[in-house]
């Protein structure tokens, strides 16, 4: 299949509107953390900002799998619609609390509610592509399997673009309009585009409770893939903290977002390239090679002392990020029961969020006491740990799941206890 024909085949499955709506609906999740930090740093203190952002991240990580499960059972339309409107309302209350100077505990609780109600557009978009590209019986042929792989590659590129645009929008609105403008924008966008995503004709219908509970979700193989997502999040969180510390050291904190955006550019371009020409290699091999390449590409961070060097290093890492994430979510799609796909994708997404939050906190403390290189050292250590997990737990083989015909294709062996 020619390159652009393959890309066109993916975008024609659901029509041109769905990728645009999906991209816009993801922006609030990318806007909210940085917009929260910027707003509360300006209106209150950096300590309050850190607590609120941490509660938002925690709420999102905890609430994601539950929303995914409800979407599997009740259908995407009612769950995403309710979550989008609830998220917009929670953002309005959170902004009002910040502007009126309510106590920290109130702001922290409202930030957690904002996180809990994030409608999980990214994970449920991946689920939607799996449903659209696979037959109802779940036994995909070669052509369908390639189309699913292309679709998930395309969705990864859309994700990366949203997480490049989101922080930039947050920064611009806060600087040009008002400290709360970023969160107000996020609320408006999720109310409009979350609703459009929910109501789009491609929204899968729900399944009965009995059917959705039948498949086993927490298979050791999926836990191994979750560990890879967790460690990828740790790489991001620590590298982001190190980039912020470097920018502060160089006297221009505003440059951190631009430097960090270099990764999203190269990662999204790589994702689009893999949509046009998907890798023919087996998924576990792709994952291993991608994480090995990323572990090597992280090492230059230990030497950077300038914006140019940091931008080049961060951009280089992006070339390995997309292949790794594409393999992670494709493996998740192979392993998870079809009737619990939304929950599985949200579970993997929570791994990315948890890893980011934990590593950002740890790396921030390291950078404060020992400089930005110490944060980047944690980044490299996380990359090395991910490589070890990939080599030990994510290995070619055949696993037994409730979707055995498709799980066998993934080649992912169970994580052994020994």
pLDDT one-digit tens code per residue, 14-40: 778 888 999 999 999 988 988 887 788
Name the DSSP letter for residue 205: B
Q: Which has the minimum average pLDDT: 5-9, 110-114, 137-141?
A: 137-141
The residues, any chain, with a CB within 8 Å of residue 121's CB and separated by 6 or more, are 22, 25, 26, 29, 80, 194, 197
Which tokens is 235 given?
């790489």
Average pLDDT for 290-314: 94
Higher-pLDDT residue of 5 and 357 is 357
CB atoms within 10 A of CB 211: 15
Which tokens is 121 given?
């557009």
pLDDT for the residue numbered 157: 82
Using one digit for the tens of pLDDT, what is the confidence trace for 246-261? 887 888 766 777 787 7
**DSSP string covering 215-272:** S----HHHHHHHHHHHHHHHHHHHHHHHHHHHHHHTT-TTHHHHHHHHHHHHHHHHHH
Using one digit for the tens of pLDDT, what is the confidence trace for 356-392? 888 888 888 888 788 889 989 999 999 999 999 999 8
Average pLDDT for 338-346: 86
Scanning 46-75, the segments in alpha helix (DSSP H) are 46-74
Contact by Cβ (8 Å): 166, 121: no
Using one digit for the tens of pLDDT, what is the confidence trace for 127-182? 898 888 875 444 444 447 678 878 888 888 888 788 778 877 887 887 788 989 99
| Residue 189 half-sphere exposure toward CB, CA atoms < 13 A | 25
Contact by Cβ (8 Å): 40, 48: yes
Average pLDDT for 298-320: 93
The reply to whether 1-7+16-213 and 215-418 are identical in fold is yes
Q: What residue spans define the domains of the chain?
A: 1-7+16-213, 215-418
Place of tokens 């950002």: 360
Average pLDDT for 273-280: 72
Instruction: Locate the DSSP E strands across 133-247.
Output: none
On the question of pLDDT at 91 being above 60, the answer is: yes
Contact by Cβ (8 Å): 340, 217: yes
Fold of 1-7+16-213: Growth Hormone; Chain: A; (1.20.1250)
On the question of pLDDT at 299 being above 90, the answer is: yes
Residue 386: name the closest of 311, 265, 296, 315 by CA: 296
- Please give the CATH number for the structural domain made up of 215-418: 1.20.1250.20
Dihedral Cα 132, 136, 137, 142, nearest 10 deg: -30
Name the DSSP letter for residue 301: G
Higher-pLDDT residue of 11 and 97 is 97
pLDDT for the residue numbered 393: 87
Distance of CA 224 to the CA centre of its chain: 17
Question: Model's pTM, two decimal places?
Answer: 0.82
On the question of pLDDT at 395 being above 80, the answer is: no
pLDDT for the residue numbered 280: 66
Q: How many Å apart are CA 274 and CA 64, to the nearest integer?
A: 27
């Amino acid at each position: 299949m020619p390159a652009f024909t393959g890309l066109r085949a993916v975008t024609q499955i659901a029509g041109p509107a769905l990728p645009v709506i999906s991209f816009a609906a993801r922006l609030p999740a990318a806007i909210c953390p940085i917009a929260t930090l910027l707003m509360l740093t300006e209106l209150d203190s950096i300590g309050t900002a850190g607590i609120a952002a941490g509660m938002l991240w925690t709420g999102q990580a905890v609430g994601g799998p539950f929303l995914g499960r409800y979407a599997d059972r009740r259908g995407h339309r009612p769950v995403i619609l309710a979550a989008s409107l609830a998220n917009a309302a929670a953002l309005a209350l959170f902004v009002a609390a910040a502007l009126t100077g309510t106590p920290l505990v109130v702001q922290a609780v409202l930030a957690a509610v904002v996180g809990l109600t994030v409608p999980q557009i990214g994970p449920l978009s991946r689920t939607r592509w799996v449903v659209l590209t696979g037959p109802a019986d779940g036994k995909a042929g070669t052509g369908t399997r390639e189309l699913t792989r292309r679709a998930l590659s395309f969705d990864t590129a859309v994700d990366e673009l949203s997480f490049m645009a989101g922080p930039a929008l947050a920064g611009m609105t806060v600087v040009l309009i008002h400290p709360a403008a970023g969160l107000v924008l996020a609320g408006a966008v999720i109310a409009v585009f979350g609703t459009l995503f929910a109501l789009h004709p491609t929204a899968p219908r729900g399944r009965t409770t009995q059917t959705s509970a039948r498949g086993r979700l927490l298979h050791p193989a999926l836990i191994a893939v979750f560990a890879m997502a967790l460690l990828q999040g740790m790489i991001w969180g620590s590298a982001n903290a190190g980039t912020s510390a470097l920018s502060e050291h160089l006297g221009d904190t505003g440059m951190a977002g631009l430097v960090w955006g270099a990764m999203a550019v190269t990662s999204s371009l790589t994702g689009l390239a893999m949509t046009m020409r998907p890798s023919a290699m087996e998924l576990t091999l792709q994952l291993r090679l991608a994480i090995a390449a990323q572990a090597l590409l992280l090492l230059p961070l230990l030497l950077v002392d300038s914006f140019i060097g940091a931008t080049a290093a961060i951009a280089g890492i992006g070339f390995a990020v997309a292949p790794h994430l594409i393999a992670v979510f494709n493996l998740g799609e192979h392993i998870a029961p079809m009737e619990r796909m939304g929950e599985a994708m949200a579970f993997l997404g929570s791994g990315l969020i948890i890893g980011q939050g934990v590593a950002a906190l740890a790396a921030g403390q390291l950078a404060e006491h020992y400089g930005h290189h110490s944060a980047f050292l944690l980044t490299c250590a996380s990359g090395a740990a991910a490589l070890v997990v990939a080599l030990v737990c994510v290995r070619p083989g055949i696993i037994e799941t409730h979707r055995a015909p498709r799980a066998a294709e993934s080649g992912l062996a169970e994580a052994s206890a020994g």
